Structure 1
Amino acid sequence: MAEKKEYRIKVQGQLVPVSEEVYLTYHRMKRREIYLEERDTTNGVFYYSALDTEGTNGEDVIPDLVSPRVEDAAVDKLLAEKLHRCLAQLTKEEQELIFTLFFQNKSERQLAAETGIPQKTINDRRHRILVKLKKLMKI
């Protein structure tokens, strides 16, 4: 009479008796895990967890290239404040032209049609104002 074979798997360092079905499923899963690791190694897959140390998480050492840097946000804020101060130094007519063209997003052609001022004149004024703003921004 054939003896019934005992199946065991290692759980937390101890051999635990299991059924044949559990044993086969466990080893199939274990082999699949090894296969996937081998495939990742072959394909050059890198896991952030490989960068983990006692004091840091691997993901924390990878720079975030999508989010804006704090330094850039601070510089943008300072430039915006300076631009507003420079805009305040323009005459009322110059401010209105800049506001209409850049803040209301109207084209020179639209503004010319509304005001009756030739488009070339509006373009020349816009150019002179931008040169003036550039000089004010450099100061």
Structure 2
Amino acid sequence: MELSYTEFCRCRESDQTYMDKLFIPIQGCLLEVVREQYTDFYRDKERWRYLQKLDTKNRLLSLDGFTDSEGNPLDFITDEAVDIAETVVNAVMVDRLKAALPLLSDSEQELIQAIFFDGLSEREVGARLGITQSVVNKRKARILIKLRKIIEN
């Protein structure tokens, strides 16, 4: 039996047997179903709601919403903020830097390691080495000039 919600409310008021009947909403109408169908429908609906809540909580983004102007799904999404040429240049420079670092003295390598890889400030490196921050800054500048020359050659 199919009913609109207003028809259902009217029938429910006039006939008490509607209190024991189970209905699920389908395309704007209420459809009478057996208990198993009713339970399955609302279990699936609750599961779907739970998954959507998880997606929102974890900031997941469904690709179902990405379509072109004609409604066809997109095969890929381009990131216009990423410059491929710049990415390649950066990768090459990192490779050159990795090759140049072993050419520095041990003390120069330690200073570069502490500042750029360990994330220490110049003041912290100075305290560790027993020198002032300005001396650390000057040494760092000299080392970076030396690395630039090595990389460019």
Compute the TM-score of the two structures, normalised by the length of structure 2: 0.48
Give 5+ residue unaligned stretches, structure 2: 5-27, 29-65
Indicate which of 109, 123, 127 corresponds to 1:95: 109
Picking from 74, 88, 104, the partner of 1:59 is 74
TM-score, normalised with respect to structure 1: 0.52
| Cα RMSD after superposing both structures | 3.6
Matched residue, 1:106 = 120
Alpha carbons 1:108, 1:119 under 8 Å: kept: yes
Residue of structure 2 equivalent to 1:85: 99
Other-structure match for 2:8:
none
Q: Percent identity?
A: 33
Answer yes or no: is the 8 Å Cα contact 2:111–2:140 preserved in 1.
Answer: yes
Which residue of structure 2 aligns with residue 136 of structure 1? 150
Structure 1 unaligned spans of 5+:
1-18, 23-27, 29-46
Aligned length, in residue pairs: 99
- 2:118 is the alignment partner of 1:118: no
- Contact 1:51 1:59 survives alignment (8 Å): no
**Post-superposition CA distance 1:62-101 (Å, at most 9, x none):** 63336x5655444332221111111111111111110011
- The runs of at least 4 aligned residues of structure 1 exceeding 6 Å deviation read none
